[in-house]
Amino acid sequence: MKAIDHSICRCCKGNAKKIFIGNLIGHKVTYFECLDCGYVQTEAPFWLEEAYLNAINKSDTGIMMRNQKNAQIVNLTMLILGSKDGEVVDCAGGYGILVRMLRDSGIKAFWSDKYCQNLLANGFEHKGEEAQLVTAFEAFEHFINPADELDKLLSIAPNILLSTQIIADPAPNFNEWWYYGKNHGQHIGFFRTHTLKKLAESRGKNLITDGKNYHLITDKGVNENFWRLIVRASKLSMLITHKSLTQADYSFLLKNEEVS
């Protein structure tokens, strides 16, 4: 079989060149880098059914710590957007950990996930309503067509808060970066700041980023240095007081059980 040296970027439709071959959950997989937007992607991912036998990776020992920090950053983000009483939809919400944490802190959050069972935020699923903020933590590196997925999120809310690790330039060798996810095979696309900026600007949005992991796509003008401070000082969210929804949610769910 003839080796493929070029591909079409799944992010911007530009020309992507082959950079290396990696061994992803036992499969030889070719990686490409877009010459225009800098997006790094795998070849067409034929192994995803195998990769998603478990929606949450068994090796994800940081899931609770990460959700705790994410909740803090969401709390602060809603404040700087002037939407502290608005709704949040957590895309790729997993077991519902973040939604439950946010609601316990007084944020009206709702869960959405095509591939995972909602264990902790049952009764608070997103049903298509508009919101002020959509979160997509550790999701964009899983998307086959990230531009299309971004448009779907923007149809829900004008502001998108996402996390994904920025890939270095030049791209690390396959065995030099843990984020390629060679043991689980679920990460199929990797972003540079330029990639995310191009995605945002092509939709009339601003990109605010800490340059590492957390990124905000928004209509608002937010000072990037201030944004980086927010990410580093996320524990300051504990100073923001909301009335917890824990008891109200209990009453709501109990009433629904009685009706059914």
Enumerate the β-bridge partners of residue 22. Answer: 29
Determine the 3-state secondary structure of 4 from DSSP: coil
> For a pLDDT cut of 90, what percent of the chain falls above it?
68
pLDDT for residue 76:
87
pTM of the full predicted structure? 0.86
On whether the CB atoms of residues 139 and 93 are closer than 8 A, the answer is no
Of 41-45, 63-67, 209-213, which gets the smallest average pLDDT? Answer: 63-67
Q: b/e for 102-131, b at 16 or more Cβ within 10 A?
A: bbebbbbbbbbbeebebebbeebebeeeeb
Cα–Cα distance, 216 to 242 (Å, whole number): 23
Q: Which domains does the chain have, with CATH numbers?
A: 6-51 (2.20.25), 63-259 (3.40.50.150)
Sign of torsion, CA 94 87 77 38? Answer: positive
pLDDT in tens, 114-144: 888 999 999 999 999 999 999 999 999 999 9
Q: What is the pLDDT of residues 227-236, one digit of tens each?
A: 888 788 765 5
